[in-house]
Structure 1
Amino acid sequence: MSNSVTAQHISVLGLGAMGAALAQALLAGGHQLTVWNRTPSRAEALVSQGAQVAATSAEALAVADLVILCLLDDASVREHLEPAAAALRGRTVINLTTATPEQARSLGRWAAEHEVALMDGGIMAVPSMIGGPAAFVLYSGAAAEFERFHGVLELFGRAEFVGEDFGAAAMYDLAILGGMYSMFAGFQQGAKMVRTTGGTAAHLATLMAPFLQAMTTMFAQYAPGIDDPESYVPEQDADFTAGAIGTIDKAAVESGTATELFGVLLRTLPGI
């Protein structure tokens, strides 16, 4: 994006494992950085790399062109932003704290009322991945600010704007995590089943991982069935899918590892 510019001064509030990783990426990118954390000792490593430490969150919010929050929850975000509304007027805030879509929308309404340019974000990485090729971060809200600070955002990983609805990034984030946890649940159930035959979870992992990776290519095939269901013609009909899930469930019962998981799948997947 040729019209991207970097911030002159960035503040990061919250120096847990993820916040510290974000701050380190900004320092590596050559930015002037102010940090704040409720426990000041967590800033020591960043200070040695050139960061300045604010005595209060209000100080950190007031000095920066761009403010990035990576705090515990929505309540902690409100705790620090709301008293600083006047100081934040005209500034850009990116909230990378995990929240629900409606919490993000509510904060968006607050930001608009106080003339704060706000983006909400969802980090699709663990701290060690920040700045690496596999990391990406979802953003929604102020599209103009995404363009303006795109060069900064790319320091964390691929920056993906998903819409002006403030809740969009949170929804995409939680949808992806939901898919991940569903996959983990399937692996745990499958591991219990194969162990009843003398197999091991470790062996199953070596077989399941490449198969599931290959199956992710089916997402694009299933997507039209959700986006445009009236014109969608599935490759595999619902009866076939239901039969396959039913057989898996019978095997779970036979192995003594019966679970509600496959009943949930039976109610969910045939519609694809």
Structure 2
Amino acid sequence: MMPAGTPVTVLGLGLMGSALAGAFLRAGHPTTVWNRTRAKADDLVARGATLAESPAAAIAAAPLVVVCVSDYDAVADVLDGPLDGRVVVNLTSGAPSRARALAEEVARRGGGYLDGGIMAVPEIVGTAEAVLACSGPRALYDAHESTLGSLGTGLHLGDDPGLSATHEMATLVLMWSMLDGFLNGAAILGRAGVPATAYLPIAQTAIEMVAGWLPDYARQADDGIYPADDGTVDTHLVAMAHVVEESESLGVNAELPRLLKALAERAATAGHGASGYVALVEQFRKP
């Protein structure tokens, strides 16, 4: 285990990068920072951070180097100089294949690599509410878990460095689907003069109810067995047709309910009309 107060470097001081550096400072870690626009470091320097003149100087200053920049091309630009003995924790969004390639490059240059993502808005970084999900060699994660815990609740996803990015892709689809569903519902209710704020209690109850279904749904998806405990795909299709019809009659966008109906129709055509809703996972697994 790394001792408390392990020196850390943060490359990239956007909203999230600045929040990361601030969390390390609050936890008592000597923190070196670097950013293309030097002025973004002023507040952190006033709070005790050291501003490096270059990425290479920043990397040389600490055994743990956290990178949070715009994309993987920017990561490649800032990982300048030798990486011998350094562990790079890349919290930049990107494709799993880029994470694996970067892990190989870091290893070739003598360093260790963890890929990660922080599930939090900048304001809660450094609290238990923030979740830092990392992938890469377990031994590296364990060695720096205490230091990384300064950012939030830690979670190791596996040894494959691409797993963090894969989880991010899956979670973004989940988040966008929930948000689009809420906004679509708000548009339907808006036609009846119901404001979105008035819709909140029912919408939040529905989201919590669906969240409660997920443990059973996850097991069914893994097992490939889809009992119709909460209604068949055919039953859902009837309700979906009603939503499409009502959306069209109200003059609101019906693309989302039409898509949901099309996916369910494919599942029924594939022989899952009498199955539970989880049978739709087979549609998502296809190209």
1:63 to 61, 64, 67: 61
Residue 258 of structure 1 aligns to a residue whose secondary structure is coil
Measure, in 2, the Cα distance between the counterparts of 1:148 and 1:181: 35
2:33 aligns with one of 23, 32, 35: 35
**Structure 1 SS opposite 2:33:** strand
Cα 1:147–1:234, aligned 2, differ >3 Å: closer, same or farther? farther
Q: Distance in 2 between matches of 1:7 and 1:78?
A: 28
Asked if the contact 1:6–1:148 (Cα under 8 Å) also holds between the matched residues in 2, the reply is: no
1:123 Cα deviation from its structure 2 partner: 1.1
Instruction: Give the direction of change, closer, same or farther, for the CA distance of 1:228–1:95 in structure 2 (3 Å limit).
Output: same
Residue matched to 2:254: 259
Q: CA RMSD in A?
A: 1.7
The within-5 A match list for 1:164-203 is 164-203=159-198
What are the residue-to-residue correspondences of 1:66-105 with 2, within 5 Å? Answer: 66-81=64-79, 83-84=80-81, 87-105=82-100
Amino acid at match of 2:126: G
Residue 95 of structure 1 contacts residue 121 of structure 1 at CA under 8 Å; is this kept in 2?
Answer: yes
Structure 1 length-normalised TM: 0.92
Aligned partners of 2:41, 2:96: CA distance in 1, in Å?
30
Q: Which moved more, 1:32-41 or 1:211-220?
A: 211-220
Kept in 1, the 8 Å contact 2:34–2:54? The answer is yes
Structure 1 residue 121 corresponds to structure 2 residue 116 = yes
SS in 1 for 2:150: coil
- Secondary structure of the residue aligned to 2:47 is coil
1:86-165 → structure 2 map (5 Å cutoff): 87-165=82-160
Match of 2:239 in 1: 244
Structure 2: tracts of 5 or more residues without a match: 265-276, 281-287
Which of the pair has the greater relative contact order for Cα pairs under 8 Å at 6+ separation?
Answer: 1
Whichever residue aligns with residue 196 of structure 1, its letter is R
Q: CA deviation at 1:257?
A: 1.0
Q: Is contact 1:225–1:234 with CA below 8 Å preserved after alignment? A: no
For each residue in 1:154-211, what CA deviation from the matched residue of structure 2 results, as whole angstroms up to 9, or x when unmatched? 1111111111111111111221121111111111111111111121112112321232
Structure 2 CA distance for partners of 1:156 and 1:267, relative to 1, 3 Å:
farther
Shift of 1:234: 4.1
Instruction: Give the TM-score of the pair, scaled to structure 2.
Output: 0.87
Give, in whole Å, the separation in 2 of the partners of 1:106 and 1:192.
43
CA contact (8 A) 1:29 1:155 kept: yes
Please state whether the residue corresponding to 1:149 is helix, strand or coil.
helix
Q: Secondary structure at the match of 1:105?
A: helix
Greater displacement, 24-33 / 7-16: 7-16
For residue 259 of structure 1, report the CA deviation from its aligned partner: 2.2
Instruction: Kindly indicate whether the alpha-carbon contact (under 8 Å) linking 2:4 and 2:28 is maintained by their aligned counterparts in 1.
Output: no
1:54 to 40, 43, 52: 52
Structure 1 window deviating more from structure 2 (62-71 vs 238-247): it is 238-247
Task: Note if 1:224 corresponds to 2:224.
Answer: no
Q: Distance in 2 between matches of 1:207 and 1:88?
A: 53
User: 1:71–1:77: 8 Å Cα contact kept in structure 2?
Assistant: yes
Identity of aligned residues (%): 33
Tell whether the 8 Å contact from 2:83 to 2:106 is kept in structure 1 after alignment.
no
Aligned residues: 266
> Given that residues 11 and 34 in structure 1 are in contact (C-alpha distance below 8 angstroms), is that contact kept between their aligned partners in structure 2?
yes
Distance 2:116 2:88 in 1: 11
Secondary structure of the structure 1 residue equivalent to 2:25: helix
Residue 233 (structure 1) aligned to one of 227, 230, 237: 227
